[in-house]
Structure 1
Amino acid sequence: MESDIPLRKIIHVDMDAFYASVEQMDFPELKGKAIAVGGSEQRGVVSAASYEARKFGVKSAMSGAQAKRNCPELIFVKPRFDRYKDISKQIRKIFFDYTDLVEPLSLDEAYLDVTVNKKGNPSASLIAEEIRSRILKEVGLTASAGISINKFIAKVASDYNKPNGQKTVNPEDVLPFLEALDIRKFYGVGKVTAEKMYQLGIYTGKDLKLKSLEYLDSHFGKSGQYYYHVVRGIHNSEVKPNRIRKSLAAERTFSENLSSEIFMLEKLELIAEEVSKRLKRNKVAGKTITLKIKYSDFTLQTRSKTLLYFISDAHLIMDTVKTLLIQEELSNSVRLLGISISNLNTEKQDKKLEQKSVSVQLQFKF
């Protein structure tokens, strides 16, 4: 570790099987059972799975049909996002008792910078334990946490002792921890990238660290520099409490495949209305409209167009969506349609928050 690299005390809190755990908490008859939130045996995609279901290989983004084949006893539950949002607010309220530097990633996870915290507690590990204990006591759910010197390592560590556990990686342990880590555990290395790394003989962090920056750039493009630095424990991204939304979207999976563009336009009008409501609720507008099409064979296609002006009106959104839909012939019947708006007018407001940092010392304990 270089002595001029700033150190922070970062906690990554990740709720355990959040959606599924909320359903099991609210409906005791579901406790201990394999459940999937979202989808159905016939249609749709799994949004979340309980740990009982995960034992059978059921996971998020899996089709409902495949999930049922994996686990014949699987119980499908309709998502209740308003309920999940309410509980997420309760959890974040607990976070803010410790620090104002809270960066939510989603309803069920967030980064906390506790380098300087409201409790005056020098131990980030003890803070994480206290937060997890309060979530269990006050909300009724379990959470896992990762604690380390930056967001990347904290994120990786939070998955280490799941569920209902935590992992601290002290400064002197960072490099040994990363070198021993399976490359699949590196945040930002997806399935396709992992397979490519395997083909190149990169199986662990140690293997990755042996590759030069030029080598990684040539094989992974812009991501090469990211891999080169994180495997050395370097990730200087700050916890940003005021994360600016980059896009808004809505999509629908249909009970029967659609084969006519007329029917698709009817569905897209409803989706455009939903996107428009979300834009106006958040007081934003966007320039780039993207149409998402998932066919009956599960192949996915996206088509985008960037306008010269910001829009949020449903009719204006549909004007662009119509041109995107008919710009080329559909290759199959359609099971899902979605619309997203990006290039939002909030991006100009994305100001970095200055944070206090601490010089690297091996006695900087967690």
Structure 2
Amino acid sequence: MPASYRNRVAAILGLMGACALGTTQNANAQSSVTLYGIVDGSLLYTSKALDPTTGQNAGHRYAFTDGGLSGSFFGMRGAEDLGGGMRAIFGLESGVSIANGAFGNSNGNLFGREAWVGVASRFGTLKAGLQHSPFFLAVYDVDPRDMSYFGSGLVTYLNNVFVTGLFNPNAISYTSPEIAGLQASALLALGGAAGNFQAGRQYSASLRYHLGSLTMDAALYSGNAGGSAASIPVPSVVEFNGRALGASYVFNDLTVKASYVQYKVAGSFNNRVYSGGASYRITPALNVDAGVWVTRDANDSSNNSVLASTGFAYSLSKATVTYGQVGFVTNHGGMRTGLSVNNALNLPVGTTAGVNVGIRHTF
């Protein structure tokens, strides 16, 4: 085994050991490292499946699915007090498929969900590395089913631009503190192509307003094809412009959300997604939600779809939840909106119904 490889393995094992202890200290500053994650497995049934060769209906499908409410992953967060209200921070997050133990729910690399280092203070937070864009986080914030892996805005997001904007390599971001209810974020991802600054270049920005029970989000995204991110196992360089506007309001145990998201892909479609829905906490242990997502292609009105879903989540403990979800999607023209991020991201023309039941544990 080469010495450099042994050193990398030793560093990773040492860091994971620090996570198990929870905190580490040195003579000059207080620092901490936290290990966290989600393990989520479910059973999925869809009345139709897409044949990738013919584009036609391949028949109904039963599948074990990694991720029903959310993808499985583990991660590490760390912070060191630098004094004067300033902290050095880092984040590493790796997606994993519990169906086969392989990388999953990420860009295909070891820490393919997040890998960044930064500084946080009362003036805001600065990060450098692989991270989520302000555009994606704004869409997440106003999704009526909190980006469930079944029947939510995450399905329409990935169906349009896959992981572009979700996992942004080579990125630098800044998030301001909240001032008078307003908080701004901006991100620039460098393409990494010698002699061509525009190849793979991505930028995004968002503005969030929070006042009592009301939250409003506005965001934009612009990304170019090419660059070093094109060689990642799951590339994130779809050339598109995105716009998002949404709001949520909390009435005690009821939360209502609505949004508009545009995905304009170069040389292809110009999809507008209109969504709305609500969640209601019936008891401290039981929550139900429902949402509708209508997608229309501004370049061709014959391309459209309607996705609707509802679900419940019951807490068996503070860390373990069992859940059930049902939904349907109707596709017309060239639209191929799916029902589930894993195993049913794209579905054929016509109406497809689906059911998903599973269990999720967080740590």
Same fold (TM over 0.5): no
TM tier, smaller: under 0.3
Which has the larger strand fraction? 2
Larger radius of gyration: 1
Q: Normalising by structure 1, report the TM-score.
A: 0.22
Q: Which has the higher relative contact order, 1 or 2, with Cα contacts under 8 A spaced 6 or more apart?
A: 1
Q: Normalising by structure 2, report the TM-score.
A: 0.22
Which has the larger helix fraction? 1
